[in-house]
A and B are shown apart, each in its own frame.
Chain A
Amino acid sequence: MIGASSIRKEGRAKVLGTAIYTDDKFMPGALHGLTVRSEVPRGILRAIHFGEGIPWEEFTCVTAEDIPGTNLVASVVDDQPFLIGIGEEITHSQQAVLLLAHPDKFLVEKARRAVRLEIEELPAVLDIQSSLDLQPLIYGTNNLLKEIRIAKGDPDPIWAQAAHVIEGEYRTGAQEQMYIEPNAMLSVVEPRDGLLQVTVWGSLQCPYYVHGALRQLFGLPEKQVRVVAMEMGGAFGGKEDYPSVNGGHAALLAWKSGKPVRLIYDREEDLACTTKRHPSRTRLRTAFDAEGNLLALEADFILDGGAYATLSPVVLSRGAVHAASVYRCPHVRIHARAVATNTPPPGAFRGFGAPQSLFAMERHMDVCARKLGLDAVELRRKNFLHMGDTMATGQVIREDLDLAGLMDQALAAIGYRDKRAAFALTNPGDGPIKRGVGFSVFMHGCGFTGNGESHVASVAGVEGLADGTVAVLAASTEMGQGKNTVFAQIVAEALQLPVELVDTAPVDTDHVPNSGPTVASRSTMMVGRILEDAAIGFKLALVQQGFLVEPYTPESFQAAVVKAVATLGTLRCYGQYHRPPNIQWDDVTYQGDAYPTYSWACYAAEVAVDLDTFEVKVADFVAVQEVGRVVNPTLAAGQIEGGVAQGIGWGLWEEVTMQRGRMINNQMTNYIIPTSVDLPRIQVVFLENAHAGGPGGAKGIGELPMDGPAPAVVNALENALGALRLDEVPMTPDRLLERCEEVSHG
């Protein structure tokens, strides 16, 4: 069970083409919904004009005035309206103003083009620096969506004393999740027993986020709102917070029309208006002694948070905590800010702020090694965290941590020393191909940052079914990561049953408890642990009620469940998250255990750069990680390989091009993700070190592989091309050419 590569639970339906995704759900008489958006980055909405030639009387139209409850999307900060009303301020180019629905999808598209918005334009803030300079002020009193300070020791006296002080500035671009299934929602709103019942079926990661948003939007109690997660065609964070917006839009149209409504985005709309990874700028200042020991670190970490706060405070929080990376440092000061701009709000994307700050630190370590005249491997080895060391937040490492061992294994697997030596001989030659090898060492905090788990207080459970099998009751969603299978394995292990006897219940808020959102590498470790407890409680209850006698066989267990269900009816057992007593966190000072534990990794990349075209090919890639005990090796390797692919894409190719606050390459044709010919085979190595807090010893895994590839690849580029200003991702051919020209032009 745990440790076995069990076959994906919903895999058969997926290969047969019978898995039902949102747009596959048959709903007779459904209207097609569409959203009319602002198109200018900032201004006051003065009027909505409905053009001629459209039978408007056949349409359902929803504006802000129609909203029955609160016109604010429930999130970390409730500052984003579902729709902008007349006289209100438009704050980004994709702001929803009007919703339309009609039975004819061709006509509804024609109608969208016939709507003209009268907007009095205002000056907009479109980049980080303008926001910091308050040019102009667009949000609150200082354009800051969130500000965090983390302090350890006092770096100030160190700068003057240190043998070396090295500064650097690093930037990362926005990145599109590019799930292959665009955002999709269906809704029905109808009276049931005299009460309004709002139902949404959708492609969504967090059913209870959408549930909360709908309750606030309609002003309804819990029981009158139902959210069902359909099969999901990828998410990667892109369906974490946005579904509260489009789920609300679909429900508003269904409510006003009295008919089922489909709100299925096409790719261009999805790319233009939904959330992306936050662009970042990080300034680092580090002090070293003569031997290369890290004495002080100062980080100024800034995220472009877009027009509304949404999830930016928590993305910033994770990014800030990861900014000091895996290094022991006595004096640390981290100043983190998420700034407002008039751009569509970014949101969650695998890694959640950590890839941005880790890119900066892992690039900076290579830059420091060069400037100190030290080997990048040895500089890291000298400064790694070990058991007993404290991190920037004062968190003490309580596990047997061997980062040097991880690093050595990754470097040996890619042949780091031999390749460096060989490339040093071949690169000076005349040929256009230059080769390099580089690496990064990093960690990813498992579960929510700080007190997040305590606030959510997740509940999950198991249910005995009439046929004697066991169902998992959790609101965690399957987005391809393997949740259905891993949860079944954890419960099967706890009950000592074959995994075939455990399956997942449909993720429907009418049926499953709130096990929290499907985010933050928390499902396996946090929800899995609750399920392990619930399963053990379920078994004990069966024994105590006299239905089951230990030791038992799967057959006798199944028979016991059949009998118990026949006797007692519904047979459910729940568990709830309880904060372990040794985990302490202070939200105000940012001191304490930022995460219950971390996953650790070293990734190494070999690149080949063609100086005729400035194309970069990743020729080899090694991913060595310690993620606790691996529940399902095949699924886990799939997570790593897929995450590495996204990380390489972010590092080299994936560029969101903005013009007047709007993404202009919002097509798959010109936003480039890796294809099957662009990636090498990725060597995946798991070092298992069971974590007592996770089910069967498991830790989090989903986001980790996003953090390491970009700095590893760019560090390899430096090895191939020498000291260039390789301070930004994606390092596209254009950007690489520019950096090479800087050197050749002096």
Chain B
Amino acid sequence: MAECIDLNLKVNGTEYRASVHPFARLLDVLREDLRLTGTKEGCGEGECGACTVLLNGRVVNSCLVPAVQAQGAEVVTVEGLAEGENLSSLQAAFLTHNGAQCGFCTPGMLLSATDLINRCPNPSDDEIRDGLAGNLCRCTGYAKILDAVHSAAEREAAR
């Protein structure tokens, strides 16, 4: 086996150190080394968005990020969205509006939607569609996801 590399990164506010395969992807580190399995792999080629995380505040497909590029980075995954028992506005809205069906695209969808609402606090249908175009969902036809994002944006605006 090839020699491992030492990786330091901060995930959901916690510092981690891991010894990882030189070809490992950020996705592998999250799922296998840190056992944060909320982030999913759907295609391994950056197409489906199930592995979406925030890397230093930017939305990325973690299957396309070599782990070495995450050295010293701050990462937010789906496990970092709730505060203790309290769901984030988006998580709560996905639950109420049936925005998650099989749930496999949901972690990535939630991260992209979180980023969208941060950039665009009161998005239109079209802005949501554009913001989530990199996250494929096969269950919902996207309607309930649009509803959930609108509802969460309204709740955030009211805070």
Contacts and interface: CB of A to CB of B under 8 A. Distances in A.
Are A and B part of the same complex? yes
B72 interface: no
Most buried by A among B35, B50, B141: B141
B1 A638 contact: no
A644 interface: yes
Nearest to B130: A677
A267 B37 contact: no
Contacts of B130: 676-677
Given A11-B95, A20-B37, A107 B136 contact: no
Contact of A480 (B102, B125, B141, B146): B102
Contacts of B146: 676, 681
Given A107-B1, A180-B40, A15 B48 contact: no
Given A17-B107, A23-B41, A181 B102 contact: yes
Nearest to A235: B102
B82 A16 contact: yes
Contacts of B35: 26
Nearest to A621: B141
Nearest to B80: A17
Interface residues of chain B: helix, strand, loop or mixed (majority)? loop
Given A642-B138, A679-B141, A682-B141, A21 B45 contact: no
Contacts of B102: 179-181, 232-235, 479-480
Given A16-B82, A638-B139, A676-B145, A21 B104 contact: yes
A18 interface: yes
B108 to A, nearest CB: 9
Max chain A Cβ within 10 angstroms of own Cβ: one of B1, B41, B77, B104: B104
A7 B144 CA distance: 13
Contacts of B95: 7-8, 11-12, 15
By size class, the interface of chain B is 35 or more
A16 B38 contact: yes
Contacts of B103: 10-11, 13-15, 19, 231, 233, 480
B50 A180 contact: yes
Contact of B138 (A13, A178, A638): A178
B141 A645 contact: yes
Nearest to A267: B43
A15 B96 CA distance: 11
Contacts of B81: 16-17
Contacts, number: 179
B101 interface: yes
Interface string B41-70: 111110110100000000000000000000
Interface in B17-42: 21, 23, 31, 35-42
A575 B120 CA distance: 53
A641 interface: yes
B45 A104 contact: no
B5 interface: no
B1 to A, nearest CB: 6
Contacts of A10: 103
Interface stretch (A46-54, A218-226, A667-675): A667-675
Contacts of B79: 16-18
A675 B141 contact: no
Given A180-B136, A645-B142, A673-B138, A667 B101 contact: no
A510 B137 CA distance: 33
Given A180-B105, A232-B102, A676-B135, A642 B45 contact: no
Contacts of A599: none
B140 interface: yes
Contacts of B39: 17
Given A15-B106, A17-B107, A638-B98, A180 B141 contact: no
Given A106-B23, A480-B101, A669-B45, A17 B78 contact: yes
A260 interface: no
A667 B141 contact: no
Interface in A16-46: 16-21, 23-24, 26
Interface of A: prevailing SS: loop
B10 interface: no
A553 interface: no
A236 interface: yes
Interface in A625-645: 634-635, 637-638, 641-645
Contact of A668 (B47, B104, B106, B142): B47
A646 interface: yes
B140 A638 contact: yes
Contacts of B106: 14-15, 17
A355 interface: no
A638 B129 contact: no
A108 B105 CA distance: 28
Given A267-B42, A642-B141, A16 B48 contact: no
B6 to A, nearest CB: 19
A738 interface: no
Contacts of A645: 138, 140-142
A642 B101 contact: yes
Given A23-B41, A667-B45, A17 B101 contact: no
Interface in B95-125: 95-98, 100-107, 110, 125
A481 interface: yes
A236 B104 CA distance: 14
Given A181-B102, A634-B98, A236 B45 contact: no
B98 A234 contact: no
Contact of A234 (B21, B77, B104, B141): B104
B4 interface: no
Contact of A15 (B36, B91, B140): B91
Contact of B96 (A7, A638, A646): A7
Contact of B100 (A5, A11, A236, A644): A11
Interface in A478-513: 479-482
B142 A679 contact: yes
B98 A635 contact: yes
B45 A233 contact: no
Q: Tell me which of A638, A643, A674 has the highest count of chain B C-beta atoms within 10 A of its own C-beta.
A: A638
B112 to A, nearest CB: 10
A7 to B, nearest CB: 6
A637 to B, nearest CB: 8
A15 B100 contact: yes
Q: Which of A20, A236, A645, A667 has the most chain B CB atoms closer than 10 A to its own CB? A: A645
Given A23-B31, A267-B45, A677-B130, 11 more contacts: A15-B95, A16-B38, A178-B138, A179-B102, A179-B138, A235-B102, A267-B43, A637-B144, A641-B142, A676-B130, A676-B132
8 tightest A-B CB contacts, nearest first? A17-B38, A233-B104, A480-B102, A14-B103, A17-B78, A645-B141, A480-B101, A641-B141
Interface of B: 1-2, 21, 23, 31, 35-45, 47-48, 50, 77-79, 81-82, 87, 91-92, 94-98, 100-107, 110, 125, 128-130, 132-133, 135-146
27 contacts: A11-B103, A13-B103, A14-B100, A14-B106, A18-B79, A106-B23, A180-B42, A181-B42, A231-B103, A233-B103, A233-B104, A234-B102, A267-B48, A480-B101, A482-B101, A635-B98, A637-B98, A641-B141, A641-B143, A642-B101, A646-B138, A668-B48, A673-B136, A676-B130, A676-B145, A677-B129, A679-B141
